[in-house]
Structure 1
Amino acid sequence: MSHSAERVEWASGEIVDSLVMPGVRFAVAKMSLARRAEISRRMRGLISELEFQAAGTGLADRLAATELEARIDREYIEWGLLAVLGLVIDTQAATLELLVEKGPEELCREIAGCVRKQCHLTGEERKN
């Protein structure tokens, strides 16, 4: 029996070109067992609270749900964003903190969506 000298390379993150801000790129973490446990722990309470607020019919319920959606997006960004490349905010290179505090909302939502995709399997991936 012969053993191959080949090895498998794994990068724990990937770089994505922004669709909403051409020229900006961002690096997001790929899923690992430990990272899945961490994001599940972070999201458990927020998701339950969002479902409760979203079921309400009053203005206060809708506002609370909107606030929770923003908090959930921020959690995903803080958990999965590794770097922002090609973006300057108020003369400073964008950092995670600067991005969520002063950066463009549409980019934050794009990044949060990309991180969400890393956290959830697609229908095809679940079959395999």
Structure 2
Amino acid sequence: MYNKFLLSLLLVVTSPALFAQEIKTKEDSLKKNDKWDVNDPYSDDWNIKEIQLDTDEGTWMNLDVSPDGKTIVFDLLGDIYKIPVSGGKATALRSGMAYEVQPRFSPDGSKISFTSDA
């Protein structure tokens, strides 16, 4: 019984010290990388994997048709694409870590505006 009490007391006494060390390590990491960039948010020690995604449909998408009626611009998963109205393969206009949505053609069709967190 006495051994269980000592073991419990030891765990109670050392647990806050272990927790404090973990917090200190995270704070040190934040100080080291104090200039966060939405396009490069990962530290070197994260295990990040990229995947290739091919799809022919999407949901909750925003789109706009160019004033000349030849091009559609749309968002999908936070990236901006364009595609001919007649169909074909979409071309990425904006991609990466920044979340970009709601593309709209200017009245003359020469520019595209969109919302971004970059």
One fold, TM greater than 0.5?
Answer: no
TM-score with structure 2 setting the length: 0.22
Question: Which structure would you say has the larger Rg?
Answer: 2
